[in-house]
Amino acid sequence: MTDTAEATDPAARLEWWRTELAGLDPLELPADRPRPSVREPGTARRTHTVPAATADALRKAAAGYGAPLPVVLLAAYQLLLGRWSRRQDVAVGTPVAEELAVIRTDLAAATFGDLVDRVGAALRGAQDRGVPFQQLVTALVPEPDSGHHPLVQALFTGPEGGGAPLAGTCPPDLQLTHEDDGTGLRLHLDHSTALFDAATAERFAGNLLTLLTAVAGHPGSALGDLDLLDGAERRLLLTEWSAGPAARPADRQVAELVAEQAGRTPEAVAVVFGDEEVTYGGLNARANRLAHHLRSLGVAPDVPVGVCLERGPELIVALLAVLKAGGAYVPLDPEHPVDRLGFVLRDTAAPVVVTQETLRGRLAAEGRALVTVDTDREAIATADAADPASTTGPDDLAYVLYTSGSTGTPKGVAITLGSLTGLLLGMREVFPAPASDRVLFTTSATFDIANVEVFLPLVTGGRIIGADREQVHTPGALAALVDRHDVTLVQATPSAWRPLLDALGDRPGPRDLTVFTAGEALPADLAAKMLRAGRRVVNGYGPTETTVYATVAEIRDAAGPVPIGRPTPGTEAYVVDEADRPVPVGVPGELLIGGRGVARGYLGRPELTGERFTAHPFPGHAADGASARVYRTGDLVRWLPDGNLEFLGRLDHQVKVRGFRIELGEIESALLAHADVDACVVTVREDVPGGVPGEKALVAYCVPAKGRTPGVGALRDWCGRGLPGYMVPGAFVFLDRLPLTTSGKTDRTALPAPDGERTGLEAEFVAPRTPAERAVARVWADALWADEVGAHDDFFELGGDSLTATRTALRLQEEFGLEIPVRVLFTCSTVETLAKALTTARRAGGFPAA
């Protein structure tokens, strides 16, 4: 019952509303266009008549609930708004006592009848504590957003209207008006034309009619049982769009396919690295010898074998040899910290590691055999060159790749041979010959897309064009490789494509080059640039847990959202809500991936495997031979009206930066282990010094321990001891305390942007003294968004990283008029040392070869 003082005292009523609407966030419905900062009042109307039988059943249901029909309609409207916006807390504006009132409802009810009761109670509370809407807005929204209607973005009205948007304010996103004269029930949906296409509004109205039909037929239904999809849309989403093309039979494994290709074209060149060329016959024989040697050391099905080699033909030989021996390769990047390499070897318990003499000291040798391909060359050469008899099947392991872990511990993804073969057969359809003739190999073997660069050309008779470590980081050198070898397929993340595309330019080169981008969202401006360059552009998506690529899209224009495409052959894609119900077209949901690419799970992590790899929610739609499980990606996507998927972001704090999947918690765990850090949070921003607009970078916000003064360089070095370089934050911001929300959680939206100041730098500022130092400092200041750069400042302490170094080297080349290898910025990382190196090189006519 309403308190008498509260009902009569205007101040008490206003305070009630302040409490009732505390923490109410704007309702963000999935729109067809970004919300403008200032919205025009344009709207359009869709009108639907509820079938007479359904309308009669709704009136009977309302009587059973003990509520008027408009309350039932409002409850259904709010439920639909919640499903479309992935919200349990939904507010709608509706006329109450000739004023617009805010009806806020918690949708976490057991049955639809319970929800009707909640809506009715909210309406009665609003009626008992009426406050003019303008007064509410003035009190609760002191700085209204001109892109949102104040307080509520959706309205619900009767035939007489009322409670219309206030004059001079932003119109609502949606307004539902009902008319019921006892013989016919009509629903009018007015939608903002600035946000929604007519087709989107039509789908919303259709979902509402389906929902009302379900309520009419089963008024006692649990909320979770009420479906939004009619039969036609359900068939579209679960049958026509969800499954990729039929998969080819994977009756032979990758090693066998390569051996067969070697038998057909033994003299054809398979691998090119610099001046070294390896034929198919030579590659197969070398891999066979190493495979027999590995078998003599106990390598067998499901036995993990570490592979730690510099980029070159021996890396290709080793990966293939492990598969021929029947083992599972575990790639180890020589550039990763020793602690990281040691963790992977311990976690896999790999009994054998294939490496080279110069890298022995970086590997934990205790209890395992180290096969050094250079010093053990003679012993390996005496092994049999014939193809080893196959001992594996499609369910045996092909490789184990480690990805970032949210608890601070990396996790190994176990991929089977059948999944790897399925990937390559599917990609062969995406890139039919001659697109896979000459593939540029630039990716670290620890990144799963390297499997396409290595094995796709080998199973199709193509050629691998390898880039060494320095070329990988030098766009000009990669462009030269593309031109020299007439490369037809280059695969890279969007972040890496920007400088590479600039280096390729418009000069003569291969016109049939396929630009394959993957690993992170493809910005529309970059897609447009790729298309203007006359390239074939393909955008791919896929977690490591589903064997590289789950969806692909050929991009022909960049006018609208850049899609991630449709499922690849043998792959299934489902977009679901929190209850695993398929969501309508255009509505965000979590992407579940099924099919033969689904990994076995996480090595030695049964609980995590059970959490992320779950039973197929639509087993009747699973493809023949597909896994009975699906992988929960944690990615938020939606179906576009043309049947393509659009990537929208993450559901958790996992991010992708330059194609690498990163759990922010792993970086935070590393920083919290440092004695100088009391608290920290790591996030991703696009306004980081040294960044490119639209490009993401890691920023660490640290609260120093009492009495401590952490330095940027020390914290970067600390992170670099156990984390790969791509996980070391590019910028550090030091705060007295982390901002908190009212619930006591870190308020990530209140974290300040890095400002380029010298906070945390360990070197005292010394002004540049020579013309060369001043030139270097000027380029650095511009590239790193720094207010000032001193002679003793370190490039990486200022926020630089490998990608920024690549761009900076190009800028310095223009300034100094000579070719500058990126490695120079790593060896001469201060202004003073780099200026001296540049001056010396200019006198000598260039830098010596590495």
Question: Beta 304-307 vs 352-355: how paired, if at all?
Answer: parallel
C-alpha distances (whole Å) from 281 to each of 253, 267, 269, 385, 387 are: 18, 6, 9, 10, 11
DSSP labels for 329-369?
EEE--TTS-HHHHHHHHHHHT-SEEEE-GGGGGGS--TTSE
pLDDT digits (tens, 9 = 90+) for 149-163: 888 999 999 876 544
Alpha-carbon distance of 291 to 225, in angstroms, equals 55
Tokens 């400042």 belong to which residue?
793
- Record the pTM: 0.82
Alpha helix positions (H), 141-253? 198-217, 231-235
% of the chain at pLDDT higher than 70: 90
Alpha-carbon distance of 456 to 323, in angstroms, equals 15
C-alpha distances (whole Å) from 12 to each of 3, 4, 5, 139 are: 10, 10, 7, 13
- Cα distance between the two ends of the chain: 83
pLDDT (0 to 100) of residue 90: 96
Q: What share of the chain is helix, strand, coil (3-state, %, to 5)?
A: 35, 20, 40
Task: Yes or no: say if 383 and 293 are a contact pair by the CB < 8 Å rule.
Answer: yes
Alpha-carbon distance of 529 to 535, in angstroms, equals 9
SS3 sequence of 108-165: CCCEHHHHHHHHHHHHHHHHHCCCCHHHHHHHHCCCCCCCCCCCCCEEEEECCECCCC
Alpha-carbon distance of 801 to 624, in angstroms, equals 46
Task: Name the more confident of 738 and 626.
Answer: 738
Let me know how long the chain is: 850
pLDDT digits (tens, 9 = 90+) for 571-614: 999 999 999 999 999 999 999 999 999 999 999 999 999 999 99
pLDDT digits (tens, 9 = 90+) for 429-477: 888 777 779 999 999 999 999 999 999 999 999 999 999 988 988 888 9
Q: Which of 280-289, 495-504, 778-787 has the lowest mean pLDDT?
A: 778-787
Task: Yes or no: say if 57 and 69 are a contact pair by the CB < 8 Å rule.
Answer: no
Exposure b/e, 553-566, CB count within 10 A at least 16 = b: bebeebeebbbbbb
Quote the tokens at residue 59.
């009136």
pLDDT digits (tens, 9 = 90+) for 791-801: 887 777 776 76
Bridge partners (DSSP) listed for residue 307: 331, 354
pLDDT digits (tens, 9 = 90+) for 256-302: 999 999 999 999 999 999 999 999 999 999 999 999 999 999 999 99
Domains of the chain (ranges; CATH) run: 4-228 (3.30.559.30), 231-247+418-652 (3.40.50.12780), 254-392 (3.40.50.980), 654-750 (3.30.300.30), 771-844 (1.10.1200.10)
User: Residue 71 phi/psi, 5° resolution?
Assistant: -70, -40
Rounded to the nearest 10 degrees, the angle between the axes of helix 313-325 and helix 280-296 is 50
